[in-house]
Amino acid sequence: MPSKVLIIGAGPSGTACAATLHRLGHEVVVVDKATFPRDKCCGDGLTTNALRILEELEFDPARVPDWQTCSDVEMRSFSGRKIDLPLPSIGGQFAAIAPRAQLDHALVEHCRDMGITIHEGCAFESITHHDTNGISVRVENLGELTVDYVVAADGMWSPVRKSLGLSTQGYLGEWHAFRQYASNVTGTSKDRLHVWFDKDLLPGYAWSFPLKGGRANVGFGILRGGKYSVQEMKDLWPNLLQRPHIREALGATAVMEDRHTAWPIPARVTTAALSSGRVLFVGDAACVTDTLTGEGIGQALLSGQLAGQAIIKTGNREASIARRNYDKLVKQHLFADHRMSVTLGKILQSSIGARGALRLASLTPWTRRNFVRWMFEDEPRAAAFTPRRWHKGFLKRDGAFKNYG
């Protein structure tokens, strides 16, 4: 018998969960307090892992007007050394840039076209009943909804998590990032993805991701508790934009649009509560962001898929089995990679460690080719140390959307 599922939040994790469940006949309702399209502060980058999941969900990149495929990556060490890292030129897409305002709206419309009910402008208000037989939730403009499961895809400060008494007071995430769009970009940032490892940002980095129409997403992110406070990061932003290597990449005519935006990034999936009763947490609500890079779209999509798979596998059995299924899947797919990222982050905190890592990456054409594929999660971060993930063609798989563009 199909389950009734309420998904709170229509971002990548929520829509991925909705699509996964709907395709196998489960009754799904998605609610979101926002009205789409809406902006979401983000670097806008899509890794190979994210692209493959979108393809599995039968998503069409053409839905995103400013979808930009990337094939060239330039990394710059704090010493000024530049490293060119080419992504594969055949076999599909291995990295892309998609503005979140457009991507999230496109995912919502994709789900609607599948026949999934999505209510915008409808915020979660409270859980009114929760026991072994079901869960009832009060939603703005909709009243009370009774379902078998709730999937909380409602962000880092999840109101659902708070209502269950599971929030950590004062939690501000592991990363903090700033982003601003630039137009009239004429330098190499016009069509090349840049990553700058400036010494004062380690183990964080600055970036420039190309968009269509001579625009770019420019930003930087650093771990909390490091050299800079959040206020100092705000003061650093105009200085960073004037650094010669960044100005050169953007070009002399580049103009920063509007004001910069900032956001905290949760990255502690191994210690976060993943479920409670008939509620499963996904995306930022489960703190699934990669703690090495701050990248979270791929992890959000994956966690949404896994929550859907856990509910499907459980069927009509008790909710505790769904929780066990989901917790097990998240541990299998995300825990080892998180721990690997934590270890590498500690190495990159020192200039010696960062210098050594970049030298190793640039050693040969083989190391350059595979380092960039590893960086963009062509294979899971810790795949080399988790033999169950080894397969024929390891690090030789095609990307995604081979027939697009």
Residues 6 or more apart whose Cβ sits within 8 Å of residue 298: 46, 47, 49, 50, 53, 377
The architecture that CATH gives domain 4-70+93-171+266-347 is 3-Layer(bba) Sandwich (3.50)
At 327 the pLDDT is: 96
Does residue 23 register a pLDDT over 90? yes
Q: Is-contact 373 48, C-beta < 8 A?
A: yes
- Least confidently predicted of 78-87, 243-252, 316-325, 370-379: 370-379
Gap between the Cα atoms of 164 and 272, Å rounded: 14
Average pLDDT, the chain: 90
43, HSE (Cβ side, Cα atoms, 13 Å)? 27
At 353 the pLDDT is: 74
Gap between the Cα atoms of 260 and 171, Å rounded: 23
Q: Which fold has domain 175-265?
A: D-Amino Acid Oxidase; Chain A, domain 2 (3.30.9)
Gap between the Cα atoms of 193 and 222, Å rounded: 19
- The first and second tokens of residue 342, run together, are 């934590």
Residue 393's pLDDT band, with cuts at 50, 70 and 90, is: low
Selection from 73, 16, 10 nearest residue 37 by Cα: 10
Q: What is the pLDDT of residues 255-283, one digit of tens each?
A: 999 888 888 999 999 999 999 999 999 99
Residue 235's pLDDT band, with cuts at 50, 70 and 90, is: confident
How far, CA to CA in Å, does 163 sit from each of 33, 122, 127, 138, 146?
A: 16, 17, 7, 12, 17
Gap between the Cα atoms of 163 and 182, Å rounded: 39
Per domain, the residue ranges of the chain are 4-70+93-171+266-347, 175-265
At 357 the pLDDT is: 77
